[in-house]
Amino acid sequence: MAGIGDLFRQEIRVINLGLEAFALTLEQLGVPVIHVAWSPPAGGDPRKAALLAALADEEEE
């Protein structure tokens, strides 16, 4: 999945995090989209959220 140019040749398939309205618009347009029922990590606790971010998986190759 490398290269912006590659993206131009693929069908856009979206994961939507946040405002539900965006996912609904894309659904209505027939664009493959999945909405994530997102909520702040660690219930919004900033310290725990920072710890989670620090312990997140590194890049996939």
Partner 1 sequence: MIKRSAYQDSVTLLGLARELRTRNGVLEAAALMGSPANKDLLAQSGLLTTEAAAAGVNDLVIVIRADSAEAAGAALSQAEAFLGARQRRLEGAGRRLPRTLESARRHLPDANLVVISVPGAFAASEARKALSLGLHVMLFSDNVALEDEVALKELARRRGLLLMGPDCGTAILNGVPLGFANAVPRGRVGFVAASGTGLQQVMTLLAARGEGVSQAIGVGGRDMTEQVGGVMTLQALDALGADPTTELIIVVGKPPAPLVRGQVEARLRAMQKPCVMALLGRGVRGRQEGSLATAATLEDASEAAMAMLQGVAWTSRPFSAPPTEIRTHLQAVWKTLAPERRVVRGLYAGGTLAHEAALILEPFLGPVATTLTPESAGRHSVVDLGSDEFTLGRAHPMLDSSLRVQAIHQAAREHDVGVLLLDVVLGHGAAADPAGDVAPAIEAARAEARDRGRGLAVVASVIGTARDPQGREAQVARLGAAGAWVLPSNAQAARAAACIAGGEPVMQSLLGSGGA
Partner 2 sequence: MSIKSANQQALGRLVEAQPVLADCLPAEQAMGLTGRTVLHAGPPLAWERACATMQAAVLCAVRYEGWAPDDAMALNLVLRGEVRLGPCHHMRAVGPMTGIITASMPVFVVENRAQGNRAHVTINEGLGKVLRFGANDESVVERLRWLAREAGPVLGAAIRASGGIDLRALMAQAVRMGDEMHQRNVAASSLLARTLMGQLTRARADTQAIARVADFIGGNDQFFLNLAMAVGKACTDPCLGIEDSTMVVAMARNGTDFGIRVAGLGDRWFTAPVEMPQGLYFPGFGAEDANPDMGDSAIVETVGLGAFAMAASPAVVRFVGVGGMQEATRATEEMAEICLGEHPHFRIPALDERGTPVGIDIRKVVETGITPLINTGIAGKTPGVGQIGAGVARAPLSCFEQALEAFGSRRQSTRGYGG
| Contacts to partner 1 by CB under 8 A | 1-8, 10-22, 25-26, 29, 31-41, 43-46, 49, 52-53, 56-60
CB of 43: closest distance to partner 2 in angstroms?
A: 6
Fill in the per-residue mask, 30 to 49: x = in contact with partner 2 (CB under 8 A), - = not in contact.
---------x-xxx----x-
Q: Which residues of 42-61 are buried (b: 16+ CB within 10 A; e: fewer)?
A: eeeeeeeeeeeeeeeeeeee
- Pick between residue 9 and residue 47 the one whose CB is nearest to partner 2: 47
Cα 36 to the chain's mean position, in Å? Answer: 8
Q: How many angstroms separate the CA atoms of 34 and 14, rounded?
A: 6
